[in-house]
């Protein structure tokens, strides 16, 4: 049986906030717990962030009676421009993927470019929609 080759999903978003504010929101547990991997119907019950290269993160969202964990390891942290980490949601797959976030100054704030490598083609559109929703949550949390 042939398994389709993984693809890379790309998402861009402008934020009316400084690159520093947007970058820091990814690594601050209080902020990130409000939007990163959070769902509208769920409740974030655990947020652990060890914000250093080689450090790990774990987010657990309670969805009904089910806990869904999101985990990874930081590969690059270059404040306020670049963040890279591995990513896995064990409930759905043990395969680790890679997420890269680049933030550049732009008029009125900054431009965030996110790439998620290693996504199976059948999940590409769902992954893109998921990241768009997550970034909407970041904008709401920042109040921008």
What is the residue range of 72's domain? 7-142
How many domains is the chain partitioned into structurally?
1
pLDDT in tens, the chain (144 residues): 567 899 999 999 999 999 999 999 999 999 999 999 988 888 999 999 999 999 999 999 998 899 999 999 999 999 999 999 999 998 888 899 999 999 999 999 999 999 999 999 999 999 999 999 999 999 999 999
Q: Phi/psi of residue 65, each to 5°?
A: -100, 10
pTM: 0.94
Is 130 inside a domain boundary?
A: yes
Give the single-character DSSP code of 88.
B
H helix and E strand count, the chain:
3, 7
Distance CA 45, CA 68 (A): 10
The CATH number covering residue 100 comes to 3.30.530.20
Q: Is residue 2 part of a domain?
A: no
pLDDT in tens, 41-56: 889 999 999 999 999 9
| Tens digits of residue pLDDT in 99-117 | 999 999 999 999 999 999 9
Other CB atoms within a 10 A radius of the CB of residue 17 amount to: 21
In a domain, 62, yes or no: yes
Domain-located, residue 1 = no
For 133, counting Cβ atoms within 10 Å of its Cβ (0-12 exposed, 13-18 middle, 19+ buried), the class is middle
**Residues forming a β-bridge with 78:** 82
Per-residue tokens: 24: 């820091």
Residue 80 belongs to a domain: yes
């Amino acid at each position: 049986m042939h398994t389709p080759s993984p693809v890379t999903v790309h998402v861009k978003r402008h934020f009316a906030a400084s690159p520093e504010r947007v970058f820091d929101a990814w690594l601050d547990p209080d902020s990130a717990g409000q939007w990163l991997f959070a769902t509208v119907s769920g409740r974030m019950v655990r947020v652990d962030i060890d914000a250093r290269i080689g450090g790990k993160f774990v987010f657990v969202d309670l969805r009904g009676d089910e806990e869904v964990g999101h985990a990874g390891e930081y590969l690059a942290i270059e404040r306020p421009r670049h963040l890279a980490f591995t990513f896995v949601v064990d409930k759905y797959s043990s395969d680790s993927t890679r997420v890269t976030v680049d933030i550049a100054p732009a008029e009125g704030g900054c431009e965030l470019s996110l790439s998620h490598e290693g996504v199976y083609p059948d999940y590409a559109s769902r992954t893109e929609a998921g990241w768009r929703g997550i970034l909407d949550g970041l904008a709401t949390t920042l109040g921008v």
